Structure 1
Amino acid sequence: MSSIPTGQTPPEPTAAPQEMTLIEHLLELRNRLLKIVLAVVICFAAIYPFANDLYLLLSDPLRQLLPVGQTMIATDITSPFFAPLKLALVLAVFAAIPFILYQIWSFIAPGLYAHEKRLAFPLLASSVVLFYLGAAFAYFVVFPLVFGFFTSIGPEGIVELPDISSYLNFVLKMFFAFGVAFEIPIATILMILSGMTTPADLAAKRPYIVVVCFIVGMLLTPPDVISQTLLALPMWLLFEVGILFGRLAQRPAQTDDESGHPGSRTE
């Protein structure tokens, strides 16, 4: 038994970090979800008064291409109310995405290693930016080309009067498709860091990836070559970007493994 020198007080025992119980985890999850719902409600309350104006802005790429004297119509008596309402709700979720991901990050961060934290937060932030870039690419680049194609191939004598609800469903589908497609670099980096594959393996499968990109573009976009190509090409380019950044992100992880100090869990 070790003795304590005279005149010195024994060191106080260090309190071991306490793990949260299942009930505490569930309560924490509930609080995070309530905050997310509250954030969406606040964004919706701020956006809804401008819902009609936002719908006009959203439909501008199509309305600009309609022949003179033709406009959009509502085939359902409730469409003039529910279409802007649906748009305001979706935009509220889009606007709250940074806060939603922050809440997810705050919930999972205590259980991550130090090197995992260094990578997780930049990946979350990048995923938000890429999703917004995908939606912006669809609105400013894809919509004018796609709508220009559709409005120019109709039979002569046919009056084009697009329904506002059908148009909203179409553009929301396109926003989601391009937003998700722009997440390919994040998915590629995560696959590389998790050990599921390597940059060299992905590069070797490049011809198959190009074919898959065009198949996905065909499934997620209208049945025309323009929109399919406009989705497939960015997907392929983003795949190449994912391989590039995957190589860069793999090097620090390999350095940590070689040093034997990957980090420690923090509570």
Structure 2
Amino acid sequence: MSKTTFQPSVLVFSALLALAATSCSKSDAPAPAAAAAEAPAAPAAPVSLSAERAELLRQFLVQTSGEQNVTWSAATGAFMIDGDVAMPLDEVEAHYAQKDAPQQGTARTEGVQHRKSYYLVTPVKAATVKIYADGTVPAVWKAALDRAIANWNATGSKLYITRITTPTGANTTVTAANTGGTGTIAVANYPDYLSNPGRKITINTYYNYLAAGLQTFAMTHELGHTYGFGHTNSTYGTLVPGSPNSDSYSVMNSVCKTWSSFSTYDLLAIRTVYPK
């Protein structure tokens, strides 16, 4: 997610669900000198992928997410979708391999229309989500994560999330690293090819200075990506009945704002996609 103004995510408020990536955009708040001085994390070894294969998989993600802004990064070994959603190469390959033959028991075979969303969590898994924040996550972000979890648990939907203190049994692992002031606030994964919640959220500790309300918004937004919600301004999928084409109050907009509440249409979308 970016800075104080998140770019809309595909949550389905504007009502669409898609694979969007935009780890919350940056916040408008200026970075203090201390944050700027912190050294960025060292880059990982590049991943080899032919140009032809990269383009094939990129087009697949464009088609299934409805986002045109999809890029391949050999440095991270992942495709980035609209800025804050990362899809690791192995996950893209797995999704692509099963695109023409959905497996029994996945979200795509349980009454969810393909056009409404390609990436979803199965109902039974949505009701028992477990999240682990490892030792790299600062206390302020763990607190923001707890507030975000409480936000989702209060939506009146099938989704129910618990933060656990050990990695065993976790569906989603939250980590943190300083990726610098040009990076987004956080990056999340979409649900995997077995319809589990997105397996990872990475927080950019450069933005430790953000106010609690902004951090809460960012984590609530990123959790939305892990359940298959994309940016609200996406053009992919079917509008949820009763929702508008745009919703400036949606938490799945990609510009980070101070958390207030889910919008009326956020709640409509969440309860439609994950009904109790």
Higher strand share: 2
Q: TM bucket by the smaller chain? A: under 0.3
TM-score, normalization by structure 2: 0.24
Q: Which has the higher helix share?
A: 1
Name the TM-score, length of structure 1 as normaliser.
0.24
